[in-house]
Amino acid sequence: MTTIAIPQADPARSYRAHAGEIDAALTRVLRRGRYVLGEEVESFEREFAAWIGTRFAVGVGSGTDALAIALRAAGVGEGDEVVTVSHTATATIAAIEMAGAVPVLVDVDWMTMTIGADEIDAVIGPRTRAVVPVHLYGQPAAMDALCDMARSRGLVIVEDACQAHGGEILGRKVGAIGVAGAFSFYPTKNLGAFGDGGAITSDDESLAAAARRLRQYGWDAERSARVAGVNSRLDELQAAALRVKLPHLSDALTRRRAIARRYSQALQGLGIVLPEEAAGTRHAFHLYVVRTEERAHLADELARRGVGTAIHYAVAAHQQPAYAARLRHGPLAMTDRVVAQVLSLPLYPELDDAEVERVIEAVIASVRSASAAFR
């Protein structure tokens, strides 16, 4: 077996890039002795809200919890229908069900691989309460069309921005456009912790307050629970580490985008479909995802050349055994096509220029060596 010299993701590199500062921050928390909901979480919530451009951020235990709690805080509950895509992390679907709601799936747009705004009308019914657009791979979904529709239909929009820290539409960051945004700090995400973590962003004060109650047993300031809650808190150690990394996030995004631009220049004309940035948007390039019907071949050839790849995601929600039988959905022809072709190349800010060129050479050589198959 060849060793993978350049893995598709490598979160340890982001630790090494700031190891001294991170160690100091963690030690500070350990010595202080307050480990849950203390000053690190409070400060991080303020700093992250400022970075996204919302009035509030609420730290929770994961991106999945952020979505579920944001939906509940936005008034979505038992029996309500929530429209989203099948081409996403299973987490999106799990979160909608955790909120007590019923996911209804629609197809994606071929170019952006995000929710097809035109598909939504056909599945809206009397129980539809919300839409969860997923800014998949860091590409912002078509929020303009969605916001217009949401206004005219009285629906709420909760953004799944778990892959899109720093994505923008006409200068506004995603997570600040819908009534709330949900972020994940899973280690490989654009802003990654060293374990699980998540946050809800919103300009709505009562939504943020409801999220704060829901994340801790439903308690209000007097420790009285008028709603049933859960236990989902961002912890002090993760918040302290995130506070070290947040000031570097803008530079990290610039680097992600520079690598993506270099890939897109160098990989043109090979017969594989490259990601494009939709007009008026700033792609956050959490992942650089190419498409080819010869995916298995390309992945094998790249592995032989020491370049790691991954598939996000090989099985769409409507194909997952636990969900397949009960999920309602419209036509998903584009989703089925996308799911069979997507392949993620290595992309993280710590990749150096020489590694980027090695990935490019490996992709070109892999496509050539399999050129018969690619035709």
Q: Read off the tokens for 123.
A: 């599945």
The residue behind tokens 């570097």 is: 248
Determine, following the binding rule CB under 6 A, whether residue 309 of this chain makes contact with ligand PLP: no
CA distance 62 to 183: 8
Cα separation values, 354 from 13, 94, 126, 357, Å: 16, 40, 55, 5
CA distance 164 to 108: 17
Q: Which residues make Cβ contacts (< 8 Å) with residue 4, sequence separation at least 6?
A: 303, 306, 307, 308
Minimum CB separation of residue 352 from ligand PLP in Å reads 26
Q: Which stretch binds ligand PLP (CB under 6 A): 84-92, 199-207, 260-268, 357-365?
A: 84-92
CB-CB contact of 346 with 355 (8 Å) = yes
Residue numbers 233-262 binding ligand PLP by CB under 6 A: none
> How many other CB atoms are there within 10 angstroms of residue 10's CB atom?
18
Minimum CB separation of residue 359 from ligand PLP in Å reads 22
User: Among residues 64 and 292, whose Cβ is nearest to ligand PLP?
Assistant: 64
User: Among residues 199 and 362, whose Cβ is nearest to ligand PLP?
Assistant: 199
Closest CA to 252 of 65, 13, 33: 13
Closest CA to 134 of 108, 155, 161: 161
Minimum CB separation of residue 245 from ligand PLP in Å reads 15
Determine, following the binding rule CB under 6 A, whether residue 134 of this chain makes contact with ligand PLP: yes
Longest dimension (CA), the chain: 69
User: Among residues 98 and 270, whose Cβ is nearest to ligand PLP?
Assistant: 98
Q: Which of 8, 14, 64, 114 binds ligand PLP (CB under 6 A)?
A: 64
Minimum CB separation of residue 24 from ligand PLP in Å reads 25
Residue nearest to ligand PLP (CB): 63
User: Among residues 72 and 358, whose Cβ is nearest to ligand PLP?
Assistant: 72
Q: Which of 196, 235, 236, 277 binds ligand PLP (CB under 6 A)?
A: 196
Q: Which residues make Cβ contacts (< 8 Å) with residue 305, sequence separation at least 6?
A: 2, 362, 365, 366
Helix (H), strand (E), coil (C) string for 252-286 = HHHHHHHHHHHHHHHCCCCCCECCCCCCCEECCCC
Minimum CB separation of residue 82 from ligand PLP in Å reads 14
Q: Which stretch binds ligand PLP (CB under 6 A): 62-70, 74-82, 148-156, 350-358?
A: 62-70
Minimum CB separation of residue 164 from ligand PLP in Å reads 8
Q: Read off the tokens for 337.
A: 């096509």
User: Among residues 134 and 191, whose Cβ is nearest to ligand PLP?
Assistant: 134
String of contacts with ligand PLP for each residue 146-185, x by CB under 6 A: --------------x-xx--------------------x-
Q: Which of 73, 76, 83, 89 binds ligand PLP (CB under 6 A)?
A: 89
Minimum CB separation of residue 60 from ligand PLP in Å reads 9
CA distance 220 to 113: 40
Which residues contribute to the site for ligand PLP (CB under 6 A)? Answer: 62-64, 88-89, 91-92, 134, 160, 162-163, 184, 186, 196, 198
